[in-house]
Amino acid sequence: MRYAQTLRVVNCLKWLVIVLAALYVFIVSVSAANGVFAQLHSIKSSDFDIPVPALFALAAFVACVIGSRFGRSLSEENEDHLPVAWTLPSSRTRTLLTIMSVDGLGILATIAIYLALSALLIVTFGVTKYVVLPADTPIELARYIIEPFAFYALLMALTASTGRAGRGLVGWYWVGGVFLGLLAASPFIPNPWHAIFNVIDFINPLAYGSYSSNGGHVSVVVNGSTQALTYVGTLTPAMDVVALLTLFAVGMTLALIQWRRLEA
């Protein structure tokens, strides 16, 4: 099973590299045509910074997108392939753990590939001097690395017992996650609904992916509105990590239970 899953993940990563390479060429070409390089070199370093956690936040978002593809690995097996997967000399639990470990490496590789693109852009634009490491960088990095895993695990739990329907569920999972985040953040939703959406949003991994930093005169906001950040900000970064780890563990467990109960 490891071989089949590795092929799936590698195929997906190949496409990611192609898309990101095209994106790099596009950004550099457009920037060069509009004189962005010259403008960047004229900015004082006290007016602009690039916090490393912000790069990880973006990488986590990309990993969630790719994790959406990996997250229906079990439902993909359920598209008539179970007689192959379940007649290999391996228990269902071991098969599941093999699939998840390969997918997990794929998620880490996605983060690494995205960070590589970011580094390339930073070097290309000559803005390495603006890269900063805030004091809370380690815990923020932990949060952004765990977030796509929690997202992936819940998606696995959602699609483990589905077949082709898993494809549609992935789309609805994204719609639901984003919509819930908006409801939780919206100042126009009256209480008690606002409070209820806020509580439900605890189980929405996408809600943990936002990043905010006021470096100099430029505010960097990634993956969400400032209102959403206000809410997530009520948790400490360490609590965010614990919450995401809990979501990951719950997702894994639910996926395993369903996978073991499934019938071909």
Partner 1 sequence: MDQSTPAISIDRLTKRYGQTAAVSGLTLAIPQGSIFGLLGTNGAGKTTTFKCMLGLARPTEGRILFEGKPLEPVLFERLAYVPERCALYEWMTGAQLLEMQRRSFARYDEKRANELMDLFALDRKKKLGKYSKGQQTAMALVLAFSIHPDLLVLDEPAAGLDPVHQRHVLDLIIGESAGGATVVFSSHQIGQVERAAERVAIMHRGTLRLAGEVEQLKADVKVVEATFDDEAPSLNGLAGDPSVGQIQRSGRLLRVYVRGNGDEIARKITEHRPRSVRVLDQNLEDIFLTTVATSTPDVMER
Which stretches of the chain bind partner 1, using CB under 8 A?
1-4, 7-8, 11, 80-84, 86-91, 94, 263-264
Cβ 263 to partner 1 shortest distance, Å? 5
Burial status of residue 89 (CB atoms within 10 A of its CB: 0-12, 13-18, 19 or more): exposed
Nearest approach, Cβ of residue 260 and partner 1 (Å): 10
Q: Cα–Cα distance between 124 and 244 in angstroms, integer? A: 34
DSSP 190: P
Residue nearer to partner 1 on the CB measure, 6 or 227:
6
Distance CA 232, CA 208 (A): 7
Q: Please give the Cα distance from 118 to 145 (Å, whole number).
A: 16
Please, what is the minimum distance in Å from the beta carbon of residue 30 to partner 1?
A: 35
Q: Please identify, using beta-carbon distances, which residue of 3 and 188 lies nearer to partner 1.
A: 3
Select 48 or 86, whichever has its Cβ closest to partner 1. Answer: 86
Residue 262 sits at φ, ψ, to 5 deg, of: -65, 150
DSSP state for residue 221 in the 8-state scheme: E
CB-based contact 182:194 (threshold 8 Å): no
Q: Min. distance of Cβ 96 from partner 1 in angstroms?
A: 13
β-pairing, 211-215 vs 218-222, is: antiparallel
Q: Would you mind telling me the total number of residues written for the chain in this entry?
A: 264
What's the closest the beta carbon of residue 111 comes to partner 1, in angstroms? 25
Nearest to partner 1 of 103, 140 (CB atom): 103
* Nearest to partner 1 of 33, 263 (CB atom): 263
